[in-house]
Amino acid sequence: MPTYTTPPNREVFNTRVWDVVRQVPAGRLVTYGQVAHIVGPPPGMHLKDYLAFGARWVGSAMAACPEDVPWQRVINAQGKISLRAGAEKQRQLLEMEGVEFDDRDRIDLERFQWSGPGQPEQGRLF
């Protein structure tokens, strides 16, 4: 069984991730896992293997994203900003877009999560 620590073709995977994130409207959010689901596994990779690594790969892609990618709109599945350098800036950017945080620093995914490309803007997918 192969062990994947990075996508087989990182450049292609990252580009696909960034293309998805560029579509997220202001004031809406996606999770790392949601982006991984939208992007899908690389050719030849079993879905089970991809599910174990996809969200982490999205995180790595976002850490290296170009300036035109709205990185602040990608959060974790708990509805929180992942703790890392830049977390406070991410919160500020999201609040400027109208995203609200509760008293536990969580975002209501039912309210703010983007449904994905070509999907109606209501309801949570992931």
By residue range, what is the domain housing residue 75? Answer: 10-112
Would 92 be classed as within a structural domain? yes
Domain membership flag for residue 47: yes
Beta strands per DSSP E along 1-126: 30-31, 74-75
Q: pLDDT tens for residues 38-67?
A: 999 998 888 888 988 999 999 999 999 999
Q: Do the domain assignments include residue 88?
A: yes
> What pLDDT sits at residue 123?
46
Count structural domains, the chain: 1
Contact 36, 61 (CB under 8 A): no
Structure tokens at 65: 């994203």
Answer yes or no: is 122 within a domain.
no
Q: What is the CATH number of the domain that holds 88?
A: 1.10.10.10
Position 72 in a domain:
yes
pLDDT tens profile 96-113: 999 999 999 999 999 999
